Structure 1
Amino acid sequence: MTETTADSSAFGADAVLEGLDPEQRAVATALRGPVCVLAGAGTGKTRAITHRIAYGVLSGVMAPQQVLAVTFTARAAGEMRGRLRALGAGAVQARTFHSAALRQLQFFWPKAIGGAVPRLLERKVQLVAEAAARGGIRLDRADLRDVTGEIEWAKVTQTVPDDYAAAVAAAGRTPPRDAAEIAGVYAAYERLKGERGTIDFEDVLLLTVGVLESRPDIAEQVRAQYRHFVVDEYQDVSPLQQRLLDLWDGGRGNLCVVGDASQTIYSFTGATPAFLLGFRARHPDATEVRLVRDYRSTPQVVGLANGLLRHARGPAARARLELVAQRPPGPEPVFQEYPDEPAEAEGTARRIRALLDGGARPSEIAVLFRTNGQSELYEQALADAGVPYQLRGAERFFERPEVREAGLLLRGAARGGADAEVDGALAGAGGAELPGHVRAVLATRGWTPTPPAGVGAARERWESLAALVRLAEEFAAARPGAGLPEFVAELDARAAVQHVPTMEGVTLASLHAAKGLEWDAVFLVGLTEGMVPITHARTEEQVEEERRLLYVGVTRARERLTLSWALSRSPGGRATRQPSRFLDGLRPGGGGAVLGGPVGLGARASVTRGVAGRAGREEVGRRPRPRAPIRCRLCGRVLAEAAERKLLRCADCPSDVDEELYRRLRDWREERASEASLPAYVVFTDATLTAIAEERPGDVRALSRIPGVNAAKIARYGEDVLRLCAGGSDGAAGQAGAGGASVAALGQDRGIAGK
């Protein structure tokens, strides 16, 4: 290491090492030669590698312009850049594989190929559909998504169309359609791209590899630019990405890789832990460091995570890390059984409501499921409970109207061209620091120090602006002295990679989408055989990947963890489902002893069973009574889908909706939602309004039989709804119909409250 004893950079380098544990410090000071960091969940791997980069830069071993850090998501790359800036190494490049390759391709294309780089396809689905149609193949939405995924897998595993069928068989992969048919669509898709002068994201990597392999002069130019490489989430690297990394490095070995084989969950996209597991074989002189101190989760959560992997098999299992919890003890994990999926969703919403009422922040709670199709029930249940939520992967934060407007105002203020209203606000802020300036600008568009009441549109707008204020506070703390121009540049950089700030809402996400995130409280739902592991996981390796996926879900929780399953899909259905095999040995009554090892649970985790009915009661150790099935009021079929249960009829059965009543109900809902600052769906969803307009209930009991109309909503909205159903704008609807009880009395009836 270069000696810099009396200079300020040496002091800064030493300061970077402060606060690191012994293993993290070992990573940070291993600056030369190949380095392999095996880092378990919550062990501070990002901290270790960013401090390594900063220590290398500040000590003079690494020139910042010669370091390239690569990871797999724009969010992770943005987080890494932020940390490096805070450590004084802001000039280091931190990018995804694709963005780094695209930048090189755009720079070298004129020299290597000539002309302009082909247009990049943002989404390939439409072109895949057209390619299939050319071959006389009609794909529905699900087939289209699956076939597109197969094409992506083929490309990252460097499989051409003619070899696809053989490659699928060799990999033990089950294609969604006939392999020859997919190969034909793949070939047609490639021809279409060529005809239109376009490339896709996989082509970016393939073409960059092609340029570097065919032009040694360009490869040397890249290697002269980048001499040190850091690869995060190395267990997710694909053969194509590894080929590109080898070309970048050029055999010099100035490479630091970080990963955890137990978190390999993307093999369906071509990712493989083989490169991480074989790193020492390829680099016998490599330094290896293991990070096992878990700073994220309580001993109870860590013990469950360790226990989950103790029965794992295969190469990744042999390299598993036994985590050692560093946090104080917390609550035991809860195992919850429900009679059916709607009851599971409602029970989860009740538990979340209780956490919020106890002071928890919505943004620190997540509901995680195996497939995106499971989200609908939880969206509805949370809406019914008045709980704000955000569906991960839905609307992009930086595309929200209020965020775009705020960005324009901040940009104008940064240039000194703010309008009179903003000028006045800034003048009122006086010489306030960056957060004060941001608050002053956003105050002109509705931001206030305290949020508006309710969870409606006004609250959602306020939350967007509040997220920008929090981001300004974090940015100012990381970069003292920064002003509006620097903050606007940060917003632009984040918008470019969709690195969004934290929002206040319960997160709904698939287990795959939850990778890299963490929350105080996590609800893992739908943990049944056929879902976790998923039905199409047939080989041992596929089943083991499902186990790792659940492990990723468990390790997202800091303090509270609830694992739940439902015995049937719909109310009244046969209780034929079984809890996931991965819970065997972990849950009380599921064949398991108390978890042991260095960080065991210390006591049995609690298990309860949700009681049938919707009153919210729970009892321990008693099998729930099945609820009566909900049948179509027209054909009598048992309804399984959430939307059908709301309508009380099959989707295919004819609708007899009263259009005029539906219009009145919608207008009334908008008024009530606006008055209470609530989203309209929290009053009643569209499906519930449609069911009311079809059923046209004449009394409270009839209204209470409509799914989505519970006791609280009867007490709050029942009179209005019945009045509208009767065709009036005023009057006492609470007495409507023969035998109709009053709204207040019926709302107190436990039988109705359970609806």
Structure 2
Amino acid sequence: MILTEEQQAAVSCQESVFLTACPGSGKTRTITAKLGRCLEEVEGSSRAVACITYTNAAVHEIETRVRRTLSLREVWALDISTIHSFCLNNIFRPHAHKLEQFRQGFKVIGQDSEEFEALVNQTRASHGKRSSSRDVDEFAQLRQDINGTVEGAPILSGNISVAEALEFWRLMYERGFVDFSSILFWSHRLCIDYPEICNYLSARFAWILVDEFQDTTDLQTAIFSEIYRCGNTRFFLVGDLCQSIFGFAGASPALAEAFATEIHARRDFSLSFNFRSSQLVVNDAERIFQRAPPMVAEGRNKYLNLATEYNHAENPTAAVIEHFLPRIQQLGITLGESAVLASSWFKLIPIAKELRRQGIPVLGPGARPYRRQRLFSILAERICGHLCEPDFESLVGVERALYETLLEATNRLPLRLFSYEGRLLVYKILADARHVQENSQLGSEFLYALAARVSERLLSAEYLKVPEVDMLRASVVEMEADMRRNKVDPDSLTVDELGILARPKRALKLLTFHAAKGREFGAVAMVDLNEGSIPFYQARTNEEFEEARRLFYVGLTRAEKYLMYAPDARDYRNRPTRYLGQGYLGLC
């Protein structure tokens, strides 16, 4: 693997490191190279290496790169996961029986599950309040700090009371449910009450690599601290304090710096070359945050002479349809390479509706007509993605989705999936899927037939037991009901539409700035760039304004070739955001 001098220096260091990486700096390549170096170090021992990143998409990307370059024998020593999966599989799942609330078992629920929504509605009703469409999102933002204090944006805004939050969790635990924020809270509590857990983790993991470290929360750093104190684990932390944008989830640059200091991590390594963007885009980024050393364009787009453009459009939808889409067509940039970013989903919904009305393929609000947490949904999407574009990346995606589906369905770790036998099973499932596609009508018939074939294979290979064999079919029943509730005809759903959710190369992406983190696009339109949106009108503290600046920075640094800024001319109450004006970009 070819590395720059900056990357090689960081990878070669045998001490704990906090590596500062600018946008587009090849940090995934650096992490992959470091994983290889760490695996060489533990080869022949019983020790392992963990790599923790922020999203499932990042897990998939790193895992794909690692498995392209390392043998399957070496992959056995790897644990690549999000922080929630790491805590769930290494701390909470093995030890939850030690907690009174979960002695009878537990079920993980996400905010898109019916169970989560029912708990929200019951909590609101018990406090004499009517439920609204935003309640589920707000309850999902609730969390507890290391002392059990209730926190989260809805608490600060007063939309949810502390009493409601405590009632919500009480009802959840009574039913044997646990949400993602609770996994972290209880994992930390287990680490404190049972020190042998961290002794084991420290003995097992010689290295823990953490991607996007600037977005690590107090609970996460507290868990890492307990592992570090056992004395057997080194850390390789990769992040960028200029891209810390998850303050509402408890992250802050100060937390990242404090933990780096605690573990005596070296801070003298940085990645300053941007291999993503043109120098003109990089120049804009440097006007928002001047880095030391300065960020420099160094990739294939370095000399591309496409100036960033300012378009004070009538509204965000007009900015996209009348200006952005014709411009990218003129430049020869495809829809699949392009994205529209805004500060909230609310601003993207009318854009998505109009684009769909005009027959333009789009991934954004309303793209998935069923709940994402349905057991079979992600596996079905990954399989369809491979049917549409059969390559190694999609194959690894199917393997990962199958692993997660089995883990959720059975609460058993299906580790033998990552073997020759497991790869053969995946090939058989994909052959079955192709056969089903060729011999059934599209839509719900395809989903039911696919679920049946997959269940048969998993039962035959003893991944599922007889009482579990109908779980995938039951999930399809739930998906069909979701679609009907959303006024989508299940029979109209195609393999291509399912596959595009896993391999979205032909559709325009509509994303919030937060959701776009870690992504890159040939062309980017940043819309609704007004004071009141970014920074948000409720911002009061210096840290809130600084986080808004970091959010703007994240948005513009997603662009590789072409970047358009589009404030909303109809917003008579709020002028274009300060980051477009003097002192920053100087465009208005």
Using the size of structure 2 for normalisation, the TM-score is: 0.72
What SS does the aligned partner of 1:503 have?
coil
Contact 2:313/2:568 (CA < 8 Å) preserved in 1?
yes
Shift of 1:552: 0.4
Shift of 1:340: 4.0
Aligned alpha-carbon RMSD (Å): 3.9
Is the aligned partner of 1:580 residue 2:577? Answer: yes
User: Paired residue for 1:246, among 225, 237, 242?
Assistant: 225
Contact 2:38/2:207 (CA < 8 Å) preserved in 1?
no
Contact 1:369/1:511 (CA < 8 Å) preserved in 2?
yes
Partner AA of 2:270 in structure 1: R
User: Paired residue for 1:84, among 47, 52, 66?
Assistant: 66
1:567 is matched with 569
* Higher RCO structure (Cα 8 Å, ≥6 apart): 2
Change (3 A) 1:55 1:234: same
User: Paired residue for 1:390, among 346, 355, 363?
Assistant: 363
Structure-2 separation of matches of 1:402 and 1:69: 25
What SS does the aligned partner of 1:337 have?
coil
1:378 is matched with 351
Structure-2 separation of matches of 1:549 and 1:224: 38
**113-122 vs 237-246, greater mean Cα deviation:** 113-122
Structure-2 separation of matches of 1:408 and 1:386: 23
Structure-2 separation of matches of 1:65 and 1:85: 19
What SS does the aligned partner of 1:561 have?
strand
Contact 2:191/2:198 (CA < 8 Å) preserved in 1?
yes
Structure-1 separation of matches of 2:169 and 2:565: 44
Is the aligned partner of 1:299 residue 2:299? Answer: no
What SS does the aligned partner of 2:18 have?
strand
**Mapping 1:16-35, distance limit 5 Å:** 18-30=1-13, 32-35=14-17
**Mapping 1:732-743, distance limit 5 Å:** none
Partner AA of 1:222 in structure 2: L
Change (3 A) 1:276 1:517: same
Structure-2 separation of matches of 1:61 and 1:287: 28
Change (3 A) 1:524 1:364: same
Structure-1 separation of matches of 2:563 and 2:360: 19
**Mapping 1:51-130, distance limit 5 Å:** 51-58=33-40, 65-88=47-70, 89-91=74-76, 92-104=78-90, 105-110=92-97, 115-123=103-111, 124-130=116-122
Is the aligned partner of 1:329 residue 2:315? Answer: no
User: Paired residue for 2:548, among 533, 546, 549?
Assistant: 546
Contact 2:215/2:251 (CA < 8 Å) preserved in 1?
yes
Structure-2 separation of matches of 1:272 and 1:68: 23
User: Paired residue for 2:339, among 357, 362, 366?
Assistant: 366
Change (3 A) 1:221 1:439: closer
User: Paired residue for 2:23, among 16, 22, 41?
Assistant: 41
Structure-2 separation of matches of 1:364 and 1:408: 21
Change (3 A) 1:277 1:392: farther
2:124 is matched with 132
Q: How far does the alpha carbon of each residue in 1:103-133 deviate from its partner, in whole angstroms, 9 at most, with x for none?
A: 1222234578795432323333431331232
Change (3 A) 1:552 1:131: same
Shift of 1:191: 2.3
**Mapping 1:593-608, distance limit 5 Å:** none
Structure-1 separation of matches of 2:184 and 2:131: 28
Change (3 A) 1:288 1:251: farther
Structure-2 separation of matches of 1:245 and 1:408: 40
2:167 is matched with 188
Contact 1:372/1:509 (CA < 8 Å) preserved in 2?
yes
Structure-2 separation of matches of 1:539 and 1:70: 31
Change (3 A) 1:381 1:266: same
Structure-2 separation of matches of 1:43 and 1:543: 26
Change (3 A) 1:210 1:285: closer
Q: How far does the alpha carbon of each residue in 1:363-410 deviate from its partner, in whole angstroms, 9 at most, with x for none?
A: 101011111111133224434654321116841595597866788999
Shift of 1:304: 0.4
Structure-1 separation of matches of 2:293 and 2:284: 14
Structure-2 separation of matches of 1:51 and 1:64: 21
Structure-2 separation of matches of 1:298 and 1:406: 31
Shift of 1:258: 0.8
Structure-2 separation of matches of 1:553 and 1:364: 15
Partner AA of 1:47 in structure 2: R
Structure-2 separation of matches of 1:444 and 1:214: 51
Is the aligned partner of 1:278 residue 2:278? Answer: no
Structure-2 separation of matches of 1:69 and 1:336: 41
Structure-2 separation of matches of 1:257 and 1:552: 19
Contact 1:308/1:583 (CA < 8 Å) preserved in 2?
no
Contact 1:398/1:500 (CA < 8 Å) preserved in 2?
no
Partner AA of 2:576 in structure 1: P
Structure-2 separation of matches of 1:540 and 1:406: 44
Change (3 A) 1:309 1:174: farther
Shift of 1:561: 0.5
Change (3 A) 1:347 1:279: same
Contact 1:390/1:507 (CA < 8 Å) preserved in 2?
yes
Structure-1 separation of matches of 2:261 and 2:272: 22
**Mapping 1:396-415, distance limit 5 Å:** 398-399=377-378
Paired residues, number: 480
Partner AA of 2:539 in structure 1: A
Shift of 1:80: 1.4
Contact 2:363/2:501 (CA < 8 Å) preserved in 1?
no
**Mapping 1:660-671, distance limit 5 Å:** none
What SS does the aligned partner of 2:534 have?
coil
Partner AA of 2:257 in structure 1: L
Shift of 1:274: 1.6
Shift of 1:240: 0.6
Q: How far does the alpha carbon of each residue in 1:532-570 deviate from its partner, in whole angstroms, 9 at most, with x for none?
A: 21212222211111111110010100011111112215x
Shift of 1:438: 7.1
Contact 1:300/1:333 (CA < 8 Å) preserved in 2?
yes
Structure-2 separation of matches of 1:55 and 1:403: 31
Partner AA of 1:72 in structure 2: Y
Partner AA of 1:127 in structure 2: L
2:158 is matched with 177
Using the size of structure 1 for normalisation, the TM-score is: 0.57
Structure-1 separation of matches of 2:322 and 2:385: 38
Partner AA of 1:334 in structure 2: E
Contact 1:72/1:233 (CA < 8 Å) preserved in 2?
yes
What SS does the aligned partner of 2:269 have?
strand
Partner AA of 2:3 in structure 1: L
Change (3 A) 1:557 1:209: same
Structure-2 separation of matches of 1:323 and 1:238: 27
Structure-2 separation of matches of 1:159 and 1:101: 18
Shift of 1:48: 0.7
Contact 1:261/1:320 (CA < 8 Å) preserved in 2?
no
What SS does the aligned partner of 2:311 have?
strand
Partner AA of 1:308 in structure 2: I
What SS does the aligned partner of 1:338 have?
coil
Q: How far does the alpha carbon of each residue in 1:44-82 deviate from its partner, in whole angstroms, 9 at most, with x for none?
A: 111112101102323557958511111121111121111
Structure-2 separation of matches of 1:332 and 1:446: 48
1:417 is matched with none
Change (3 A) 1:300 1:406: closer
Change (3 A) 1:321 1:196: farther
Change (3 A) 1:264 1:499: farther
2:188 is matched with 209
